[in-house]
């Protein structure tokens, strides 16, 4: 199968037809029609074999996750997802792998109604780069730079599940299905991001772990935070780990939950609007420093380095 047959067979027609696509796959460019008065939100993420997914990950999981991590970035801005482009580098045209990959990608794309509008297909070591595009009403996007002193730092869902699954896999032990899904099939918090547009001052999605990702908000906003480590929401599996819990929850990465900063008076409304838990884990301070405290208010000296590709 040459690349044109491959594109036709696996990718053309994979995702729903959208009215805001004037021209999709097949020409030199796609022609897209963003809604008037909205800003275009654009994000790119690459998954590289051995670095972003373990060798055991299936084509289905890789297809799902490649789109999920990009939709998670759109969610963190409060954007409505619309389209995505796919740049695929493959060692060979393995039809079983491609069918599974397209299915994982297509299943998640259909859940959010996003359209695959083009891409590039090349030969080389396995790597998947996706550019996702969405839109948000002018000036309504959630940025990293809006956190204010007194805001609550809140996170959606639970933290540390994906890291526990990876850790358990790497130890050669059996991993529970639900936990494994948290690693391989993250659910981007798209509806939560949109619901929080008018309620939150700042947001980021948690890809590298709260310790590192919250620092990005603090730096961009010129503020600090006190984070209460006993408040971090944990699934039963993560809560059962006395040792290593904090490292999984603060530095494990791959959570794809949202971390938002909002004024305390908006918490109740935010919780009503979300269909998943929103847990306050700390507070924004004027002093530009990230401190960890325990339930008794005592400071804990923790030093979690976020994953860095060129560290
Ligand atoms: P060009 O040489 O003009 O860049 P290509 O031959 O690379 O065009 O691609 C042909 C068409 O197929 C284009 O519309 C492109 O966007 C689309 N395409 C290529 N690879 C993919 C892919 N992996 N998924 C979806 N569309 C793709
Ligand atoms: Mg091209």
User: Which pLDDT tens digit goes with each residue over 178-229?
Assistant: 999 999 999 999 999 999 999 999 999 999 999 999 999 999 999 999 999 9
Atom 26 (ligand 1) nearest CA: 118
Average pLDDT over residues 25-41: 97
Local confidence band at 127 (pLDDT 50, 70, 90 cut-offs): very high
For residue 7, the ligand closest to its alpha carbon is 1
Atom 18 (ligand 1) nearest CA: 119
Please give the distance, rounded to the nearest whole angstrom, from the Cα atom of residue 26 to the centre of ligand 1: 6
Write out pLDDT tens, residues 84-103: 999 999 999 999 999 999 99
Q: Are 248 and 239 in contact (CB under 8 A)?
A: no
Q: pTM (2 decimals)?
A: 0.96
How much is the pLDDT for 213? 97
Report the alpha-carbon distance of residue 209 to residue 304 in Å, rounded.
Answer: 9
The single-letter DSSP state of residue 305 is P
Shortest-distance atom of ligand 1 to CA 120: 20
Strands (E) across the chain are located at: 21-23, 31-32, 38-48, 80-90, 115-123, 127-137, 152-156, 202-205, 224-228, 258-262, 278-285, 290-293, 299-300
Report the interhelical angle of 59-77 vs 95-112 (nearest 10°).
30
Partners of 162 in the β-ladder:
none
How much is the pLDDT for 304? 78
Query: Which residue, 204, 78, 218, is CA-closest to 141?
Result: 78
Burial of 33-68, coded b for 16+ CB within 10 Å and e otherwise, reads: eeeeebbebbbebebebeebbeeebebbbbbbbbbb
Shortest-distance atom of ligand 1 to CA 87: 23
Residue 311 has pLDDT above 60, yes or no: no
Please give the distance, rounded to the nearest whole angstrom, from the Cα atom of residue 110 to the centre of ligand 2: 25
Average pLDDT over residues 301-307: 74
Which residues surround ligand 1 with Cβ inside 6 Å? 7, 11, 25-28, 86, 88, 116, 118-121
Please give the distance, rounded to the nearest whole angstrom, from the Cα atom of residue 27 to the centre of ligand 2: 10
How much is the pLDDT for 303? 81
Local confidence band at 3 (pLDDT 50, 70, 90 cut-offs): confident
Local confidence band at 129 (pLDDT 50, 70, 90 cut-offs): very high
Q: How far is CA 128 from CA 55, 273, 301, in A?
A: 14, 34, 38
Average pLDDT over residues 266-283: 98
How much is the pLDDT for 212? 96
Local confidence band at 49 (pLDDT 50, 70, 90 cut-offs): confident
Atom 8 (ligand 1) nearest CA: 28
How much is the pLDDT for 242? 83
Please give the distance, rounded to the nearest whole angstrom, from the Cα atom of residue 120 to the centre of ligand 2: 5
Structure tokens at 306: 């976020």
Please give the distance, rounded to the nearest whole angstrom, from the Cα atom of residue 284 to the centre of ligand 1: 46
Please give the distance, rounded to the nearest whole angstrom, from the Cα atom of residue 75 to the centre of ligand 2: 28
Tell me what the pLDDT averaged over the chain comes to.
Answer: 95
For residue 25, the ligand closest to its alpha carbon is 1
To test the pocket of ligand 1, the residue of 23, 25, 102, 131 to mutate (highest count of ligand atoms within 8 Å of its CB) is: 25
Helix and strand element counts for the chain (H, E): 10, 13
Percent of the chain with pLDDT over 90: 90
């Amino acid at each position: 199968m040459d690349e044109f047959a491959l594109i036709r067979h696996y990718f053309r027609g994979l995702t729903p037809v959208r009215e805001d696509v004037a021209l999709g796959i097949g020409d030199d460019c796609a022609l897209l029609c963003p809604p008037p008065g909205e800003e275009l939100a654009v994000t790119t993420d690459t998954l590289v074999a051995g670095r972003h997914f373990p060798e055991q990950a299936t084509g289905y999981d890789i297809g799902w996750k490649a789109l999920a991590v990009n939709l998670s970035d759109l969610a963190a801005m409060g954007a409505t997802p619309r389209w995505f482009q796919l740049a695929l580098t493959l060692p060979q045209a393995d039809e079983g792998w491609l069918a599974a990959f397209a299915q994982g990608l297509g299943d998640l794309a259909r859940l959010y109604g996003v359209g695959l509008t083009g891409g590039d297909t090349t030969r080389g070591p396995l790597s998947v780069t996706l550019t996702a595009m969405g839109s948000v009403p002018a000036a309504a996007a959630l940025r990293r730079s809006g956190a204010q002193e007194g805001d609550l730092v809140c996170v959606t869902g639970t933290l540390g599940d994906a890291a526990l699954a990876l850790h358990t896999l790497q130890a050669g032990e059996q991993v529970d299905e639900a936990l494994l899904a948290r690693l391989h099939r993250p659910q981007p918090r798209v509806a939560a991001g949109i619901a929080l547009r008018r309620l939150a001052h700042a947001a980021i999605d948690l890809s590298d772990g709260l310790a590192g990702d919250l620092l990005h908000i603090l730096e961009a906003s010129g503020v600090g935070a006190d984070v209460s480590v006993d408040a971090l929401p944990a699934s039963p599996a993560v809560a059962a780990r006395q040792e290593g819990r904090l490292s999984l929850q603060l530095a494990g990465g791959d959570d794809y939950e949202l971390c938002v900063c909002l004024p305390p008076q908006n918490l109740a409304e935010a919780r009503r609007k979300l269909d998943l838990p929103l847990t306050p884990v700390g507070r924004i301070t004027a002093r530009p420093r990230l401190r960890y405290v325990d339930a008794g208010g005592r400071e804990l000296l923790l030093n979690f380095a976020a994953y860095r590709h060129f560290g």
